[in-house]
Structure 1
Protein backbone atom coordinates (compact mmCIF):
# COMPACT_ATOMS: atom_id res chain seq x y z
CA UNK A 1 0.00 0.00 0.00
CA UNK A 2 1.33 3.42 -0.97
CA UNK A 3 2.02 5.60 2.07
CA UNK A 4 -0.04 8.81 2.03
CA UNK A 5 0.75 10.31 5.44
CA UNK A 6 4.07 9.63 7.18
CA UNK A 7 4.78 10.76 10.74
CA UNK A 8 8.23 10.22 12.23
CA UNK A 9 9.45 11.22 15.70
CA UNK A 10 6.72 13.81 16.25
CA UNK A 11 6.78 15.84 19.46
CA UNK A 12 4.25 18.55 20.33
CA UNK A 13 3.78 21.07 23.11
CA UNK A 14 1.21 23.38 24.64
CA UNK A 15 3.48 26.00 26.12
CA UNK A 16 5.99 24.18 28.36
CA UNK A 17 3.81 21.04 28.57
CA UNK A 18 4.75 18.25 26.15
CA UNK A 19 1.66 16.56 24.70
CA UNK A 20 3.19 14.18 22.12
CA UNK A 21 6.37 12.16 22.51
CA UNK A 22 8.20 10.58 19.58
CA UNK A 23 5.03 9.62 17.69
CA UNK A 24 5.53 7.62 14.48
CA UNK A 25 2.59 6.53 12.34
CA UNK A 26 1.65 5.94 8.71
CA UNK A 27 -1.63 5.97 6.81
CA UNK A 28 -1.76 4.40 3.37
CA UNK A 29 -3.75 5.65 0.40
CA UNK A 30 -7.37 4.60 0.88
CA UNK A 31 -6.70 3.20 4.36
CA UNK A 32 -8.92 3.87 7.39
CA UNK A 33 -7.01 4.04 10.66
CA UNK A 34 -8.78 4.28 14.02
CA UNK A 35 -6.87 6.24 16.66
CA UNK A 36 -8.23 5.42 20.10
CA UNK A 37 -7.31 6.23 23.68
CA UNK A 38 -8.54 7.89 26.84
CA UNK A 39 -9.28 11.60 27.05
CA UNK A 40 -6.02 13.51 27.37
CA UNK A 41 -3.98 10.78 25.67
CA UNK A 42 -2.92 13.06 22.80
CA UNK A 43 -5.25 11.95 20.01
CA UNK A 44 -6.68 15.39 19.20
CA UNK A 45 -3.24 16.95 19.56
CA UNK A 46 -1.95 14.62 16.84
CA UNK A 47 -4.68 15.78 14.44
CA UNK A 48 -3.98 19.42 15.30
CA UNK A 49 -0.26 18.86 14.76
CA UNK A 50 -0.89 17.43 11.31
CA UNK A 51 -2.90 20.56 10.48
CA UNK A 52 -0.21 22.93 11.77
CA UNK A 53 -2.28 24.13 14.71
CA UNK A 54 0.14 23.08 17.46
CA UNK A 55 3.83 23.80 18.07
CA UNK A 56 5.53 20.56 17.03
CA UNK A 57 8.74 19.13 15.66
CA UNK A 58 9.60 15.90 13.90
CA UNK A 59 8.79 14.76 10.37
CA UNK A 60 5.36 15.10 8.76
CA UNK A 61 5.04 14.17 5.09
CA UNK A 62 1.89 14.03 2.98
CA UNK A 63 1.98 12.44 -0.49
CA UNK A 64 5.76 12.71 -0.32
CA UNK A 65 5.80 16.41 0.58
CA UNK A 66 6.97 17.83 3.89
CA UNK A 67 4.37 19.77 5.86
CA UNK A 68 7.03 21.62 7.85
CA UNK A 69 6.44 25.37 7.94
CA UNK A 70 3.13 25.22 6.06
CA UNK A 71 0.11 27.12 7.32
CA UNK A 72 -3.17 25.35 7.98
CA UNK A 73 -4.91 26.51 4.79
CA UNK A 74 -1.89 25.38 2.75
CA UNK A 75 -2.02 21.94 4.35
CA UNK A 76 -5.75 21.74 3.60
CA UNK A 77 -5.14 22.64 -0.04
CA UNK A 78 -2.67 19.79 -0.36
CA UNK A 79 -5.57 17.43 0.28
CA UNK A 80 -6.12 16.98 4.03
CA UNK A 81 -9.60 17.62 5.39
CA UNK A 82 -10.17 18.19 9.11
CA UNK A 83 -13.36 17.75 11.11
CA UNK A 84 -12.53 18.95 14.66
CA UNK A 85 -14.14 17.57 17.78
CA UNK A 86 -16.11 20.77 18.43
CA UNK A 87 -17.22 21.10 14.77
CA UNK A 88 -16.25 24.78 14.45
CA UNK A 89 -19.08 25.82 12.15
CA UNK A 90 -19.67 29.53 11.51
CA UNK A 91 -22.80 30.06 13.64
CA UNK A 92 -24.04 33.31 12.06
CA UNK A 93 -23.74 31.98 8.49
CA UNK A 94 -26.33 29.75 6.86
CA UNK A 95 -25.77 26.07 6.18
CA UNK A 96 -25.32 26.84 2.48
CA UNK A 97 -22.79 29.59 3.20
CA UNK A 98 -20.81 27.29 5.50
CA UNK A 99 -20.66 24.69 2.74
CA UNK A 100 -19.57 27.25 0.14
CA UNK A 101 -16.63 28.16 2.36
CA UNK A 102 -15.48 24.53 2.18
CA UNK A 103 -15.03 24.63 -1.58
CA UNK A 104 -11.34 25.54 -1.53
CA UNK A 105 -9.38 26.37 -4.69
CA UNK A 106 -7.09 23.49 -5.56
CA UNK A 107 -4.28 23.33 -8.09
CA UNK A 108 -5.17 19.87 -9.32
CA UNK A 109 -5.86 18.41 -12.73
CA UNK A 110 -8.78 16.25 -11.73
CA UNK A 111 -12.47 16.88 -11.40
CA UNK A 112 -13.44 17.22 -7.71
CA UNK A 113 -14.89 14.00 -6.32
CA UNK A 114 -17.38 15.76 -4.03
CA UNK A 115 -19.90 18.39 -5.05
CA UNK A 116 -22.59 20.33 -3.23
CA UNK A 117 -25.11 17.78 -4.51
CA UNK A 118 -23.02 15.00 -2.96
CA UNK A 119 -23.08 16.80 0.38
CA UNK A 120 -26.85 17.17 0.26
CA UNK A 121 -27.30 13.55 -0.87
CA UNK A 122 -25.16 12.23 1.98
CA UNK A 123 -26.97 14.47 4.50
CA UNK A 124 -30.48 15.34 3.24
CA UNK A 125 -31.24 17.40 6.37
CA UNK A 126 -28.63 19.94 5.23
CA UNK A 127 -30.55 20.52 2.01
CA UNK A 128 -33.72 21.08 4.01
CA UNK A 129 -31.95 23.57 6.27
CA UNK A 130 -29.58 25.22 3.80
CA UNK A 131 -30.91 28.72 4.63
CA UNK A 132 -30.86 28.11 8.40
CA UNK A 133 -28.11 29.71 10.46
CA UNK A 134 -25.58 27.06 11.50
CA UNK A 135 -25.78 28.19 15.13
CA UNK A 136 -29.42 27.10 15.23
CA UNK A 137 -28.64 23.51 14.21
CA UNK A 138 -28.59 20.62 16.65
CA UNK A 139 -25.26 19.07 17.62
CA UNK A 140 -25.84 16.21 15.20
CA UNK A 141 -26.68 18.57 12.34
CA UNK A 142 -23.57 20.62 13.07
CA UNK A 143 -21.47 17.45 12.93
CA UNK A 144 -22.98 16.63 9.53
CA UNK A 145 -22.31 20.18 8.35
CA UNK A 146 -18.69 20.10 9.49
CA UNK A 147 -18.14 16.75 7.78
CA UNK A 148 -19.83 17.86 4.54
CA UNK A 149 -17.85 21.12 4.50
CA UNK A 150 -14.58 19.19 4.82
CA UNK A 151 -15.55 16.91 1.92
CA UNK A 152 -16.14 19.87 -0.38
CA UNK A 153 -12.41 20.57 -0.16
CA UNK A 154 -12.00 17.25 -2.05
CA UNK A 155 -9.45 15.78 0.38
CA UNK A 156 -7.38 12.63 -0.12
CA UNK A 157 -7.16 12.20 3.66
CA UNK A 158 -9.85 13.08 6.17
CA UNK A 159 -9.12 13.60 9.87
CA UNK A 160 -12.32 13.14 11.89
CA UNK A 161 -12.12 13.84 15.63
CA UNK A 162 -14.78 12.08 17.76
CA UNK A 163 -17.45 11.82 15.03
CA UNK A 164 -20.03 10.33 17.38
CA UNK A 165 -19.40 12.51 20.44
CA UNK A 166 -22.67 13.62 22.03
CA UNK A 167 -24.85 12.36 19.18
CA UNK A 168 -28.12 10.47 19.50
CA UNK A 169 -27.98 6.88 18.28
CA UNK A 170 -29.84 7.41 15.01
CA UNK A 171 -27.71 10.47 14.14
CA UNK A 172 -24.55 8.52 14.91
CA UNK A 173 -25.75 5.85 12.49
CA UNK A 174 -26.17 8.48 9.75
CA UNK A 175 -22.64 9.77 10.31
CA UNK A 176 -21.28 6.21 10.35
CA UNK A 177 -23.06 5.43 7.08
CA UNK A 178 -21.49 8.52 5.48
CA UNK A 179 -18.04 7.37 6.59
CA UNK A 180 -18.70 3.93 5.09
CA UNK A 181 -19.56 5.56 1.77
CA UNK A 182 -16.33 7.54 1.90
CA UNK A 183 -14.33 4.38 2.60
CA UNK A 184 -15.97 2.69 -0.36
CA UNK A 185 -14.95 5.64 -2.54
CA UNK A 186 -11.34 5.12 -1.50
CA UNK A 187 -11.03 7.99 0.96
CA UNK A 188 -8.20 7.58 3.48
CA UNK A 189 -9.30 8.49 6.99
CA UNK A 190 -7.96 8.96 10.49
CA UNK A 191 -10.92 8.35 12.82
CA UNK A 192 -10.26 9.57 16.35
CA UNK A 193 -12.41 7.97 19.04
CA UNK A 194 -12.19 7.23 22.72
CA UNK A 195 -13.22 3.68 21.92
CA UNK A 196 -14.15 1.81 18.75
CA UNK A 197 -17.73 3.03 18.52
CA UNK A 198 -18.05 4.04 14.86
CA UNK A 199 -14.65 2.90 13.62
CA UNK A 200 -15.01 -0.78 14.50
CA UNK A 201 -16.76 -1.68 11.24
CA UNK A 202 -14.95 0.91 9.09
CA UNK A 203 -11.29 0.82 10.11
CA UNK A 204 -8.84 -1.85 9.04
CA UNK A 205 -6.11 -0.78 11.48
CA UNK A 206 -6.04 0.52 15.03
CA UNK A 207 -3.49 2.69 16.83
CA UNK A 208 -3.77 3.30 20.57
CA UNK A 209 -2.40 6.40 22.27
CA UNK A 210 -1.44 6.72 25.91
CA UNK A 211 0.41 9.57 27.62
CA UNK A 212 1.21 11.16 24.26
CA UNK A 213 2.75 8.01 22.76
CA UNK A 214 1.64 5.25 20.39
CA UNK A 215 1.37 2.16 22.59
CA UNK A 216 -0.19 -0.17 20.00
CA UNK A 217 -0.39 -0.14 16.20
CA UNK A 218 -1.78 -3.10 14.33
CA UNK A 219 -4.61 -4.65 12.33
CA UNK A 220 -8.11 -4.48 13.80
CA UNK A 221 -8.32 -8.23 14.30
CA UNK A 222 -5.00 -8.19 16.21
CA UNK A 223 -6.24 -5.38 18.44
CA UNK A 224 -9.45 -7.26 19.26
CA UNK A 225 -7.29 -10.14 20.51
CA UNK A 226 -5.45 -7.89 23.00
CA UNK A 227 -7.67 -7.49 26.06
CA UNK A 228 -4.58 -6.37 28.00
CA UNK A 229 -4.22 -3.31 25.72
CA UNK A 230 -7.93 -2.54 25.95
CA UNK A 231 -7.89 -2.84 29.73
CA UNK A 232 -4.74 -0.79 30.35
CA UNK A 233 -5.22 2.00 27.79
CA UNK A 234 -8.98 2.15 27.19
CA UNK A 235 -10.34 0.94 30.52
CA UNK A 236 -12.34 -1.91 29.00
CA UNK A 237 -11.86 -5.66 29.34
Structure 2
Protein backbone atom coordinates (compact mmCIF):
# COMPACT_ATOMS: atom_id res chain seq x y z
CA UNK A 1 0.00 0.00 0.00
CA UNK A 2 1.31 3.47 -0.90
CA UNK A 3 2.19 5.57 2.13
CA UNK A 4 0.07 8.62 2.88
CA UNK A 5 3.07 10.23 4.60
CA UNK A 6 6.58 9.43 3.43
CA UNK A 7 9.70 10.70 5.17
CA UNK A 8 13.22 9.83 4.00
CA UNK A 9 16.58 11.09 5.20
CA UNK A 10 14.92 14.02 6.98
CA UNK A 11 17.31 16.39 8.75
CA UNK A 12 16.31 19.44 10.79
CA UNK A 13 17.98 22.27 12.68
CA UNK A 14 17.31 24.88 15.32
CA UNK A 15 19.73 27.57 14.25
CA UNK A 16 23.12 25.87 13.90
CA UNK A 17 22.11 22.91 16.10
CA UNK A 18 21.13 19.81 14.11
CA UNK A 19 18.39 17.74 15.81
CA UNK A 20 17.26 15.26 13.13
CA UNK A 21 19.99 13.20 11.48
CA UNK A 22 18.24 11.29 8.70
CA UNK A 23 14.76 10.14 9.75
CA UNK A 24 12.98 7.49 7.68
CA UNK A 25 9.29 6.99 8.48
CA UNK A 26 5.99 6.29 6.75
CA UNK A 27 2.32 6.33 7.73
CA UNK A 28 -0.34 4.64 5.60
CA UNK A 29 -3.90 5.88 5.16
CA UNK A 30 -6.01 5.08 8.23
CA UNK A 31 -2.98 3.85 10.21
CA UNK A 32 -2.06 4.87 13.76
CA UNK A 33 1.69 5.09 14.30
CA UNK A 34 3.05 5.89 17.76
CA UNK A 35 6.32 7.82 17.83
CA UNK A 36 8.18 7.13 21.07
CA UNK A 37 11.48 8.19 22.58
CA UNK A 38 13.08 10.03 25.44
CA UNK A 39 12.94 13.80 25.79
CA UNK A 40 15.41 15.31 23.36
CA UNK A 41 15.23 12.41 20.91
CA UNK A 42 13.71 14.61 18.19
CA UNK A 43 10.04 13.58 18.23
CA UNK A 44 8.54 17.07 18.46
CA UNK A 45 11.13 18.43 16.04
CA UNK A 46 10.00 15.82 13.51
CA UNK A 47 6.41 17.05 13.83
CA UNK A 48 7.50 20.66 13.37
CA UNK A 49 9.67 19.73 10.39
CA UNK A 50 6.68 18.08 8.72
CA UNK A 51 4.68 21.29 9.25
CA UNK A 52 7.52 23.53 7.95
CA UNK A 53 7.98 25.12 11.37
CA UNK A 54 11.75 24.50 11.51
CA UNK A 55 14.49 24.40 8.88
CA UNK A 56 14.58 20.94 7.33
CA UNK A 57 16.04 19.03 4.39
CA UNK A 58 15.18 15.63 2.97
CA UNK A 59 12.11 13.95 1.52
CA UNK A 60 8.76 14.73 3.13
CA UNK A 61 5.77 13.89 0.99
CA UNK A 62 2.10 13.83 1.94
CA UNK A 63 -0.60 12.38 -0.32
CA UNK A 64 1.92 12.55 -3.16
CA UNK A 65 2.75 16.23 -2.65
CA UNK A 66 6.19 17.58 -1.74
CA UNK A 67 5.83 19.46 1.56
CA UNK A 68 9.23 21.18 1.37
CA UNK A 69 8.15 24.32 -0.53
CA UNK A 70 4.86 24.71 1.35
CA UNK A 71 4.13 26.99 4.29
CA UNK A 72 2.45 25.71 7.44
CA UNK A 73 -1.07 26.85 6.55
CA UNK A 74 -0.75 25.37 3.06
CA UNK A 75 0.24 22.01 4.55
CA UNK A 76 -2.77 22.11 6.88
CA UNK A 77 -5.05 22.86 3.93
CA UNK A 78 -3.77 19.73 2.19
CA UNK A 79 -5.08 17.60 5.07
CA UNK A 80 -2.16 17.28 7.49
CA UNK A 81 -3.35 18.40 10.92
CA UNK A 82 -1.19 19.17 13.95
CA UNK A 83 -2.03 19.39 17.66
CA UNK A 84 1.02 20.69 19.49
CA UNK A 85 1.98 19.68 23.02
CA UNK A 86 1.13 23.21 24.21
CA UNK A 87 -2.41 22.79 22.75
CA UNK A 88 -2.40 26.38 21.43
CA UNK A 89 -6.07 27.20 21.86
CA UNK A 90 -7.10 30.86 21.60
CA UNK A 91 -7.66 31.67 25.30
CA UNK A 92 -9.78 34.80 24.89
CA UNK A 93 -12.15 33.16 22.39
CA UNK A 94 -15.01 30.87 23.34
CA UNK A 95 -15.07 27.15 22.70
CA UNK A 96 -17.38 27.60 19.72
CA UNK A 97 -15.28 30.45 18.31
CA UNK A 98 -12.19 28.24 18.50
CA UNK A 99 -14.02 25.49 16.64
CA UNK A 100 -15.27 27.81 13.93
CA UNK A 101 -11.71 29.03 13.31
CA UNK A 102 -10.66 25.45 12.59
CA UNK A 103 -13.56 24.65 10.27
CA UNK A 104 -12.50 23.57 6.80
CA UNK A 105 -13.93 25.35 3.79
CA UNK A 106 -15.02 21.98 2.39
CA UNK A 107 -17.11 19.35 4.15
CA UNK A 108 -14.88 17.04 6.16
CA UNK A 109 -15.28 13.91 8.25
CA UNK A 110 -16.35 15.95 11.27
CA UNK A 111 -18.79 18.81 11.57
CA UNK A 112 -18.70 21.04 14.67
CA UNK A 113 -21.72 19.17 16.04
CA UNK A 114 -19.95 15.83 15.53
CA UNK A 115 -16.83 17.16 17.25
CA UNK A 116 -18.97 18.12 20.24
CA UNK A 117 -20.49 14.65 20.27
CA UNK A 118 -17.01 13.15 20.28
CA UNK A 119 -16.01 15.34 23.24
CA UNK A 120 -19.30 15.96 25.11
CA UNK A 121 -17.68 18.22 27.68
CA UNK A 122 -17.30 20.84 24.95
CA UNK A 123 -21.04 20.96 24.35
CA UNK A 124 -21.57 22.18 27.89
CA UNK A 125 -18.81 24.79 27.64
CA UNK A 126 -19.72 26.30 24.28
CA UNK A 127 -19.77 29.90 25.54
CA UNK A 128 -16.82 29.52 27.93
CA UNK A 129 -13.54 31.18 27.05
CA UNK A 130 -10.88 28.61 26.23
CA UNK A 131 -8.48 30.14 28.75
CA UNK A 132 -10.64 29.08 31.71
CA UNK A 133 -10.89 25.43 30.63
CA UNK A 134 -8.97 22.71 32.45
CA UNK A 135 -5.93 21.18 30.78
CA UNK A 136 -7.95 18.15 29.71
CA UNK A 137 -10.74 20.31 28.30
CA UNK A 138 -8.22 22.40 26.37
CA UNK A 139 -6.70 19.23 24.93
CA UNK A 140 -10.12 18.06 23.77
CA UNK A 141 -10.79 21.49 22.25
CA UNK A 142 -7.46 21.44 20.41
CA UNK A 143 -8.24 17.98 19.03
CA UNK A 144 -11.79 18.96 18.06
CA UNK A 145 -10.57 22.11 16.32
CA UNK A 146 -8.07 20.06 14.33
CA UNK A 147 -10.74 17.54 13.37
CA UNK A 148 -13.15 20.04 11.87
CA UNK A 149 -10.29 21.07 9.60
CA UNK A 150 -10.85 17.76 7.76
CA UNK A 151 -7.40 16.14 8.16
CA UNK A 152 -6.46 12.87 6.50
CA UNK A 153 -3.61 12.55 8.98
CA UNK A 154 -3.39 14.14 12.41
CA UNK A 155 -0.12 14.64 14.27
CA UNK A 156 -0.80 14.70 18.02
CA UNK A 157 2.07 15.59 20.37
CA UNK A 158 1.83 14.19 23.94
CA UNK A 159 -2.00 14.38 24.16
CA UNK A 160 -2.21 13.00 27.72
CA UNK A 161 0.70 14.91 29.28
CA UNK A 162 -0.39 16.42 32.59
CA UNK A 163 -3.92 15.03 32.42
CA UNK A 164 -5.77 13.01 35.02
CA UNK A 165 -6.32 9.34 34.27
CA UNK A 166 -9.99 10.02 33.55
CA UNK A 167 -9.25 12.87 31.13
CA UNK A 168 -6.51 10.85 29.45
CA UNK A 169 -8.98 8.02 28.89
CA UNK A 170 -11.42 10.45 27.24
CA UNK A 171 -8.71 11.70 24.93
CA UNK A 172 -7.88 8.09 24.07
CA UNK A 173 -11.54 7.45 23.26
CA UNK A 174 -11.49 10.45 20.94
CA UNK A 175 -8.42 9.19 19.10
CA UNK A 176 -10.01 5.77 18.76
CA UNK A 177 -13.03 7.42 17.16
CA UNK A 178 -10.73 9.13 14.67
CA UNK A 179 -9.24 5.82 13.71
CA UNK A 180 -12.74 4.42 13.20
CA UNK A 181 -13.45 7.32 10.81
CA UNK A 182 -10.36 6.50 8.75
CA UNK A 183 -8.16 9.36 9.99
CA UNK A 184 -4.49 8.37 10.18
CA UNK A 185 -2.69 9.45 13.36
CA UNK A 186 0.95 10.05 14.19
CA UNK A 187 0.81 9.83 17.98
CA UNK A 188 3.83 11.26 19.80
CA UNK A 189 4.21 9.78 23.28
CA UNK A 190 7.10 9.34 25.67
CA UNK A 191 5.41 6.90 28.04
CA UNK A 192 3.32 5.01 25.46
CA UNK A 193 0.17 5.43 27.55
CA UNK A 194 -2.24 5.18 24.61
CA UNK A 195 -0.14 3.34 22.05
CA UNK A 196 -0.75 -0.28 23.14
CA UNK A 197 -4.49 0.07 22.59
CA UNK A 198 -4.40 2.31 19.53
CA UNK A 199 -1.23 1.92 17.50
CA UNK A 200 -0.71 -0.35 14.52
CA UNK A 201 3.01 0.35 14.71
CA UNK A 202 5.49 1.96 17.06
CA UNK A 203 8.51 3.89 15.82
CA UNK A 204 11.18 4.66 18.41
CA UNK A 205 13.49 7.65 18.03
CA UNK A 206 16.96 8.09 19.45
CA UNK A 207 19.52 10.77 18.70
CA UNK A 208 17.44 12.16 15.86
CA UNK A 209 16.93 8.86 14.01
CA UNK A 210 14.42 6.00 13.95
CA UNK A 211 16.01 3.11 15.85
CA UNK A 212 13.02 0.73 15.81
CA UNK A 213 9.87 0.40 13.71
CA UNK A 214 7.44 -2.44 14.32
CA UNK A 215 4.25 -3.56 16.01
CA UNK A 216 3.63 -2.91 19.73
CA UNK A 217 3.97 -6.66 20.28
CA UNK A 218 7.34 -6.71 18.54
CA UNK A 219 8.54 -3.79 20.66
CA UNK A 220 7.52 -5.63 23.84
CA UNK A 221 9.87 -8.44 22.81
CA UNK A 222 12.81 -6.06 22.31
CA UNK A 223 14.03 -5.46 25.83
CA UNK A 224 17.22 -3.95 24.44
CA UNK A 225 15.32 -1.23 22.56
CA UNK A 226 13.04 -0.51 25.52
CA UNK A 227 15.97 -0.31 27.94
CA UNK A 228 18.34 1.75 25.77
CA UNK A 229 15.96 4.12 24.00
CA UNK A 230 12.90 4.42 26.22
CA UNK A 231 14.46 4.08 29.63
CA UNK A 232 11.61 1.95 31.00
CA UNK A 233 11.04 -1.72 31.78
- TM-score normalised by L of structure 1: 0.96
Q: State the Cα distance separating 1:94 from its structure 2 match.
A: 0.6
Q: State the Cα distance separating 1:113 from its structure 2 match.
A: 1.1
| Residues 13-92 of structure 1 aligned to structure 2 (within 5 Å) | 13-92=13-92
- 1:223 and 2:214 are equivalent in the alignment: no
- 1:187 and 2:220 are equivalent in the alignment: no
Q: Identify the residue that residue 116 of structure 1 maps to in structure 2.
A: 112
Given that residues 9 and 58 in structure 1 are in contact (C-alpha distance below 8 angstroms), is that contact kept between their aligned partners in structure 2? yes
Q: State the Cα distance separating 1:196 from its structure 2 match.
A: 1.2
Q: Secondary structure at the match of 1:13?
A: strand
Q: Secondary structure at the match of 1:221?
A: helix
Q: State the Cα distance separating 1:2 from its structure 2 match.
A: 2.7
Given that residues 79 and 155 in structure 1 are in contact (C-alpha distance below 8 angstroms), is that contact kept between their aligned partners in structure 2? yes
| Residues 76-225 of structure 1 aligned to structure 2 (within 5 Å) | 76-106=76-106, 111-225=107-221
Q: Secondary structure at the match of 1:207?
A: strand
| Distance in 2 (alpha carbons) for counterparts of 1:112 and 1:134 | 24
Q: Secondary structure at the match of 1:60?
A: strand
| Distance in 1 (alpha carbons) for counterparts of 2:190 and 2:129 | 30
Given that residues 77 and 105 in structure 1 are in contact (C-alpha distance below 8 angstroms), is that contact kept between their aligned partners in structure 2? no
Q: Secondary structure at the match of 1:119?
A: helix
Q: State the Cα distance separating 1:199 from its structure 2 match.
A: 1.4
Given that residues 109 and 181 in structure 2 are in contact (C-alpha distance below 8 angstroms), is that contact kept between their aligned partners in structure 1? no
- TM-score normalised by L of structure 2: 0.98
Q: Secondary structure at the match of 1:93?
A: coil
What is the CA RMSD across the aligned residues, in angstroms? 0.9
Q: State the Cα distance separating 1:195 from its structure 2 match.
A: 2.1
| Distance in 1 (alpha carbons) for counterparts of 2:22 and 2:116 | 41
| Distance in 1 (alpha carbons) for counterparts of 2:180 and 2:120 | 20
Provide runs of 4+ in structure 1 moved above 6 Å: none
Q: How many residues align?
A: 233
Q: State the Cα distance separating 1:211 from its structure 2 match.
A: 1.1
| Distance in 1 (alpha carbons) for counterparts of 2:191 and 2:132 | 29
